[in-house]
Every structure is written in structure tokens, then in C-alpha cells.
Amino acid sequence: MVRADRHERRALKPTSISQLEFIILIFANKCPPVPHPSSSWGDKHPWNAAEFIRYCINAIGADSTEEASISLSRLVSASCTEAYRDQLKHISAQQLRLRRDTDFLVPTFNAVKQTLSNGLPASIDDLRAMTLDHLNSIQEYVRDSDTDAWEAFWIGKKPKNENTCRHRLLDQLRPQMPTEVSFVPETLMPEGNRADIVVIYHAYGLPIEIKGQWHAKVWDAASVQLIEKYARDWRADDRGIYLVLWFGNVPGKNLPKRPGGLPAPSSPEQLRQMLIDGLPLADRARIDVFILDVSKPVRARTFRMSCRKVSFDDARLMEISQTLAALTTTRFSAIGDCGAGAFGEPRIDRSPPEDRPQSTRGRHGYRVADPRQGS
């Protein structure tokens, strides 16, 4: 038996995670939760069976290993455990918190000093954070540079292939990182596999798997390739970055349909969230998803005003010329009547005030003779 006699007040006998999961999958549907019995006599009430299922779930949740996280993730999604779904979700969240606390290593003083001074990475997670920080800087440069940096990923109206895009990305990553950190393409991984890029510093090696948005495996490559083949490398410690190249709407190079007929993303942010949601819960804290937006910018439309040629016949031109001539003659006649000299300066009346005619004030405070009074 898995459990000792109830009167001995002992817990489960040593049982593996796979055995506990097997018990839950077999009996959860047959022993749904029921209210506590009114009588405490006996141990064959349906409540005892339901308590035993809950006990098995809690036993898995008390284990801080990755195996327990994966087991709980499978139990949450199993159809036969629907009656215990809420408890499974609650225990799964608690187990992930326990696992994070167990796996956390307090950094040394020198490691903290290096991190705060923007020094070299002191752990695989430091290397991962540094790489993501520089990828974000490259994203800003590609989108907002004054040299149209996105063009490096295009050939005419079509995206370049994945390998060429990887090389262009390496061209921008390498100058930004410390010389002690290497970016090695096509690095050998376990069982003869090769990762697109591995970021290497000392004994740390962070794999980066790159996929163009058109790739047939873009929706599951994070699990099938990165997690199963590359992240288990001895240098990676189950860490990795899944990078997808976003080119926008390109005929013949668009995203394949999502599994299950779900709606397609309309932005890089939506694609990133969808890919994260597709990762197993146990891997979301170790695997990062980065969408590099290299789409062509949408330029503002410019509108040109068309200037229509206006033509005049000779009669109309003659009429305009005569009007302008008449206006000019009138202006100069008025100036002459005001007593203007040869150069248009006003004639100054220096007679005594009592002899001056009614006048108007001119420049510099002098009074200019009123032409209506005569000279």
C-alpha cells in the first residue's frame, strides 16, 4: 500500500513523482471531492478517497524539482482531473514559488559589485540579462536609426534568409559586448545538434535559436529545439533565448497558421505573448522570447498640390496693366500734393505756430502742411 494505517499517523511511504501522478490520473475521476462526513468512524467513506487524492497532489507540490513542476503541469491540463483543477493550479503555483526559492543562489559581494558596475557576467543569468539588454538596444537602433538599419535584413522587397539575418545580427551584437564575451554561430550542442548562436563567457554558454516568421516550426521551435536540444547543454543550465524575426505582412513570407485555428498576431508584442503562453510553465522562468522587429517602417503619405496654369488673353493683360498704371499715378500725385521733394521727403513748415495752417503730425514730431490748405 502507498499509505500506512491511518491510526499510525504516518504520511505516504516513499513514492516517486511518476507514481503519484499515475495514482491521481487513475483515481481522480473516480473519486471526486465530497463534503466531510458527519461521522468520523471508518475509513471507507468517499471523503477518505478524495482526501487521499488531495494528499497525493500536495505531495507533488512539496517537491521542488523540475520533475514535479512538469508533472503538475500535465495534471492541470489532463481532462480526467477536472474535479481537482482548482487545487492543482493552486499547488502548481506554490510549487513554482518553492522551486524559485530553492534554486536561488545568493550572489557573492564580488558578483554584486560586478553587476552594479556593468562588469562581466557572474552567472548564466547575468549573461542572459546582458544579452537581452543589448538585443533591446539593437531593436531601438534598427527601428529609429538615421541610417535605415532595417535594410540589412532585406533584399529588395523580400526578407533575407535566416542565416544571413543571423550574420547581420551578429555584426551588431559583437561590437556592443565586452571582448571577453564571444558570439559563436552554429555551435555544436548535445547529440550533434547545432544552435544558431551561443553566447559564451568562461564556463557559461547561452544558446539562441533564431527563426524567421515564415518558418513552419516557428510556433513550437522554442520547446522542440531550444529546450529539448540546446538548453540542456552543460554550459546553459536550462537557459536560452528564442528569437523570432518579425518582417510584418510580406506575401509568401507570413506566419504559418497557429495551432488549433487560433487568431494570428497583428504585432510583435502579440506574437511574443503567444509564444510565451505556449511554453511549459516550468520553463517560462528560464527561457526568454525576443521578437526582433525588422519590418519596413510605414512612411507617412505625402500629398502634392497640383498647380493649375492660368492663362490670360491680351485684352485681359491690357486691362490689368492699365489698372496698375492708374494706381501708380494716383499714389505719386498724392505725394506731390503733400509737398514732397524730389526724393519723396515731406516739405517742412517752419513758420510761426500762429501762422501755421491746420496740419497733421509727420515724422520726428514736425508738422506737415495740410495739402488741403494750400501752400
**What residue spans define the domains of the chain?**
6-103, 112-293, 314-373
Is pLDDT larger for residue 259 or for residue 241? 241
Average pLDDT over residues 249-260: 92
Is the CB of residue 276 less than 8 Å from the CB of residue 289?
yes
* Nine cell digits for residue 187: 555551435
Helix (H, G, I), strand (E, B) or coil at 213: coil
* Mean pLDDT estimate for the chain: 82
Alpha helices in the chain (DSSP H): 17-27, 46-61, 66-77, 85-103, 109-116, 124-144, 162-173, 221, 268-277, 314-337
Cell 511518476 -> residue = 18
Name the range with the highest mean pLDDT among 225-239, 291-305, 358-372.
225-239
d(CA 241, CA 208): 5
- Which amino acid, residue 198? V
Assess whether pLDDT exceeds 50 at residue 7: no
Band of the pLDDT at 34, cuts 50, 70, 90?
confident
Assess whether pLDDT exceeds 50 at residue 1: no
Closest CA to 3 of 37, 33, 30, 27: 27
pLDDT tens for 202-226 read 999 999 999 999 999 999 999 999 9
**What would you report as the CA-atom Rg of the chain, rounded to the nearest whole angstrom?**
41
pLDDT tens for 97-117 read 888 778 766 767 776 776 666
d(CA 373, CA 355): 12
* Nine cell digits for residue 319: 486691362
For residue 201, count other CB atoms closer than 10 A to its CB: 21
Is pLDDT larger for residue 317 or for residue 67? 67
Assess whether pLDDT exceeds 80 at residue 349: no
pLDDT at 301: 47
Band of the pLDDT at 25, cuts 50, 70, 90?
very high
Is the CB of residue 87 less than 8 Å from the CB of residue 50?
no
Average pLDDT over residues 57-86: 92
Q: Which helix (H) or strand (E) holds 243?
A: strand 240-246
Band of the pLDDT at 343, cuts 50, 70, 90?
very low
Assess whether pLDDT exceeds 80 at residue 302: no
Cell 533565448 -> residue = 241
d(CA 248, CA 159): 10
Band of the pLDDT at 161, cuts 50, 70, 90?
very high
Assess whether pLDDT exceeds 80 at residue 350: no
Closest CA to 167 of 139, 194, 148, 186: 186
